[in-house]
Amino acid sequence: MVNSQSKSRRVQRAKQRDRMRRIRLASLVALSVVVVAVAVMALSSGGDGGDSSDKIDVDMFEFGFEGDLTAPAGEVRMSVKNSGQLNHNIGIRGGPISPDVRPGGQISFNLGDLGTGTYELYCDILGHADAGMVAPLVITEPEPSPDA
């Protein structure tokens, strides 16, 4: 009788282990689906839904910025790539500053609603602006919409 009871317990434990394995596997699959969905949403939400002319492509390096640093007045968004060997960021004097971007990294960064004029872009990391990592950003009058 003892033998059949221990066999029965072993069978129950084996079934329970199998059930736990299936639950863990299902949980991992569900978690993977959620992670992929969040990553896809984060990558696809890079745009602001606005006109692409309001987006500026900027390349950062030691110690400067390259790109067409002009945009029409209004919401201005930047796509910023770090081609340098050091961490860099980009900011507008008196305005927002991006997070640091690692070498080879890229971010999308919103400068906000800018009026016409010339603004100074700079890297906020200690010593980088002093080393020449500054550039003018020219905000022009917006082009009239085709409806007008």
pLDDT at position 1, please? 52
Going from N- to C-terminal start, the domains of the chain cover: 1-45, 52-140
Mean pLDDT of 77-98: 94
Q: What is the overall mean pLDDT for the chain?
A: 85
- Could you tell me the end-to-end alpha-carbon distance of the chain, in angstroms, rounded to an integer? 93
Q: Check: CATH 2.60.40.420 for 52-140? A: yes
pTM of the prediction? 0.61
| Percentage, residues of the chain above pLDDT 90 | 58
